[in-house]
A = this chain, B = another copy of it.
Amino acid sequence: MNQRTSGSAKRSMQVRVSAEMRQRIIKGDIEPGAPLSELALAEEFGVSRTPVREALKQLQTEGLVEIRPRVGTFVTTPSRREITELFEMKELLEGAAARLLAQRGRVTEIDRLEGNLREADAAVARDDRERYAQLVQEFHDLLILGADNSKLEAHYRTLMNQLAYPRLVNTSLSQPGRALQSDREHHLVLELILEKDGDSAERVMREHVRASRRALLAGLPISSSNASIGTASP
């Protein structure tokens, strides 16, 4: 066989290709708008064009790439408006997750959220931005998992993929004082969840998402719609 990269030789080629490309797009290794040639990808992964095609097709329905018939495949570049819409959905889903989690009572995710906040406090105290960014992501993740609704989780994941969120979090937290305030808001949300006050938890969570969105957009260049978003890379 071909030079099997890593050990994941068991899963089908197509799954490997789509997973790899998804990660690259989300992490920003590939510029938005960049063209993706089937042939080039096939050669790079050491497979034929068929599995590459199927992988790209899947990424298209996930909203990560755009296939222009007979022209080419390109990484999607969300417009300013689409970003607004995506954040509106994020607010919606995370708010709902907070409500649902509050209704469930004490479950394991709650314990993990408490642990997460303890670590986050420490990270903020020593101004460790990188670690805090990780913990923020984990906090929101635990919230979604705690909602115990697989459909909500699935929609949330595709949403976050379209936002290419990992690239954005750092920008948001680079605003002065944002980390501390964000941490406080997380505490408040968890508190309300513990009190089983679903309505308030949802409301506060939505406000939190709006606040983080403002902080994020404030840190972005005023790019006229399309200029790629802060591609400061390793």
- Interface of A with B (CB < 8 Å)? 12, 50, 53-54, 57-58, 61-63, 69, 82, 85-86, 88-89, 92-93, 96, 100, 149-152, 154-155, 159, 162
Q: Are B150 and A85 in contact, with the CB atoms below 8 A?
A: yes
Q: For residue A155, which residue of chain B has the nearest CB?
A: B155
Q: For residue A87, which residue of chain B has the nearest CB?
A: B151
A31 to B61, CA, bound (A): 25
Q: For residue A90, which residue of chain B has the nearest CB?
A: B151
| Interface-centre pick from A150, A151, A159 (highest chain B CB count, 10 A) | A151
Interface of A is mostly: helix
Q: Are B149 and A85 in contact, with the CB atoms below 8 A?
A: yes
A149 to B86, CA, bound (A): 9
For the complex of A and B, list the 4 residue pairs with the smallest distance between their C-beta atoms, beginning with the closest: A85-B151, A61-B61, A85-B149, A92-B96
Cross-interface CB contact of A12 among B12, B61, B69, B86, cutoff 8 Å = B69
Q: For residue A86, which residue of chain B has the nearest CB?
A: B151
A154 to B88, CA, bound (A): 13
Q: Are B82 and A151 in contact, with the CB atoms below 8 A?
A: yes
Given A12-B69, A69-B12, the answer on whether A89 and B151 have CB atoms closer than 8 Å is yes
Q: For residue A158, which residue of chain B has the nearest CB?
A: B155
Q: For residue A149, which residue of chain B has the nearest CB?
A: B85
A85 to B100, CA, bound (A): 12
Cross-interface CB contact of A89 among B54, B155, B162, cutoff 8 Å = B155
Cross-interface CB contact of A88 among B61, B86, B149, cutoff 8 Å = B149
A96 to B91, CA, bound (A): 10
Given A58-B57, A62-B61, the answer on whether A89 and B152 have CB atoms closer than 8 Å is yes
A149 to B93, CA, bound (A): 14
